[in-house]
A and B are shown apart, each in its own frame.
Chain A
Amino acid sequence: MKSFKKISLMMLIAAFMIIAAACGSDSSSDKDSGGGKDSGELSGSISVSGSSAMQPLIAAAAEEFMAENPKVDIQVNAGGSGTGLSQVAEGSVQIGNSDVFAEEKEGIPADKLVDHKVAVVGMTAAVNPKVGIDDIKKEDLIKVFTGKITNWKELGGKDQKIVLVNRPDSSGTRAVFNHFALDGATPAEGITEDSSNTVKKIINETEGAIGYLAFSYFTDDSVTPLSIDGVKPTAENVQSGKFPVWAYQHSYTKGEAEGLTKAFLDYLMSDDIQNTLLKEQGYLPVTKMKVERDAEGNQKNI
């Protein structure tokens, strides 16, 4: 009886220690990055966190990278751009993904972070196919989203009430759309959903609905992407700078990237990834852009 209790107590303590040790080694492996920089073969582990929109792309790239470098371990978490920026700024991850510039987020020491623009994503307004329009003037789009136009027949569509589908206030997609499609106007109140798939589903099912989506979600006829001022929302028009609503996908590092982190970021910028994987995932290669943009949104040709 006595020995049984002794054993059970020992096991309890052992269990605690294992848990504690597991936690400990987890956090230390996060910091242990970029090892084997000099040895030629890459090894070590890095963790990536941030924008949930970018997560599939980075995770797919990380998988291919790990296949080429078997000693490397890259963990990709999603959690939102804010989380990614916060975590990279405090050093708990090596790469923080964001769909907005760090300068636009409050409480982030943007001068300490180094920006790596890894992809471009174009987005445009999308309407329910039954609305009956596929082109909209920018001023009308602003009026639609600020609630000044409330019925599609005013724009030559069907006699249907306009239903807005928004993103949460702090969402990067919303910030980009407000800035470049609505010229900074504050949209009127409407249904708010976070996930692009839910937004697409709602637009498809609701009469007269309008929202905004990244190009990669226009894979079928369930929603109609709108041209703005007659410019079609295509990759070519974004690359040439004709279509205004697009954003960089940023990978931030704290200070200059080095070692394994640098190798992975270089890999993301390689033609291999930029021309194949990015396209598969619906992004536009940043290397093909003929225009560039700074944090304030000023655009210039390169």
Chain B
Amino acid sequence: MEKLLPAKDRLLKSKRSRLDGEFRGKLIVILCAVIMISATIAITIFLGTKGMQSFTKNGISIIEFLTSTNWNPTDKASPMYGVLPFIFGSFAVTFLAALIAAPLGIGGAIFMTEIAPSWGRKILQPIVELLVGIPSVVYGFIGLTVLVPFIRENVGGLGFSLLSGMIVLAVMILPTITTIATDAMSSLPNHLREGSYALGATRWQTIRKVLVPAAMPSLLTAIILGMARAFGEALAVQMVIGNVRNLPSSILDASATLTTIITLNMGHTTYGSVENNTLWSMGLILLIMSFAFILLIRYLSSRRKLR
């Protein structure tokens, strides 16, 4: 129909409608952005005020909260609110998991991009994607049924330990690290490789001396993103770590993390009670930590651009 209209009408009409379309499109996109931003800000403000309540309203000292190792909120005579063991536990499992997952993930990425770009990628890529798809509760259940008894019988201790938590988490963050590291390695310009070969370097020398250093900021980003995921993981860790309130003295000791304490106690506490408020404070610590991880990633990627 439109084709039969004179050119003038058509152009005028299309111009008007294009302006309208421009405006509407802009509006929809801005709306999306505003919703996302306000949701984030709202959550931050809510968590901030809720998390500070245990210090402002219930009069718990921040220093005691962060440095004391005694956690006994239900003791009526002298309740103690020290979350240091949980902060320590969170960091311990996160770093230990990254320690296993980082070499594995980066090694896998190098294999996929440099050693066997065709068939290696075809096999490894779906496997890694499959790992992402497994829900965390399934990881936890496998950990509880297979890993915990295995460690109890072959390594020692109760089986519920930092070691179990670290292994489960390492498997969980492996896909994150592998995927981002693979992207980083494959986005390296080809002239780096060719230049290195032209100088007479072997393939391994090229990988070790040229490609890995060049991709380093992105590889670190991959590791930190993996760690951020490990830090916030609750369900799978809760099932294998034992949730003990003491500071662990060895890797075979049971431990607890901020997230596991929150999920264990959440339903039992009443809104507005001291116990509930301290759980919010732990949530605030988690939020601050994830901001710290994001800042670190920003810093690393800005360094990459400068190069």
Contact = CB atoms under 8 A, between A and B. Distances in A.
A251 B220 CA distance: 53
A79 interface: yes
Interface stretch (A152-160, A193-201, A273-281): A193-201
Contacts of B38: none
A206 interface: yes
Contacts of B20: 2, 5
Given A9-B28, A168-B268, A206-B152, A191 B274 contact: no
A108 B276 CA distance: 12
Nearest to A208: B158
B270 A108 contact: yes
Contacts, number: 99
Given A9-B28, A106-B273, A198-B144, A81 B149 contact: no
Given A107-B270, A170-B268, A192-B264, A2 B17 contact: yes
A21 interface: no
Given A169-B73, A192-B242, A86 B271 contact: yes
A244 interface: no
B239 interface: yes
Interface stretch (B111-119, B173-181, B243-251): B243-251
Contacts of A171: 268
A82 B270 contact: yes
B149 A205 contact: yes
A193 B74 CA distance: 17
B275 interface: yes
Contacts of A175: 74
Given A5-B24, A206-B158, A206-B159, A107 B267 contact: no
Contact of B267 (A79, A106, A201): A79
Contacts of A151: none
B272 A107 contact: yes
B244 A189 contact: yes
B205 interface: no
B160 A194 contact: no
A76 to B, nearest CB: 15
27 contacts: A5-B20, A5-B21, A9-B24, A52-B267, A79-B267, A80-B266, A80-B267, A83-B267, A86-B270, A105-B273, A106-B273, A106-B274, A107-B271, A108-B270, A168-B243, A168-B264, A170-B73, A170-B74, A170-B265, A170-B275, A189-B245, A191-B242, A192-B242, A192-B256, A193-B243, A194-B264, A205-B148
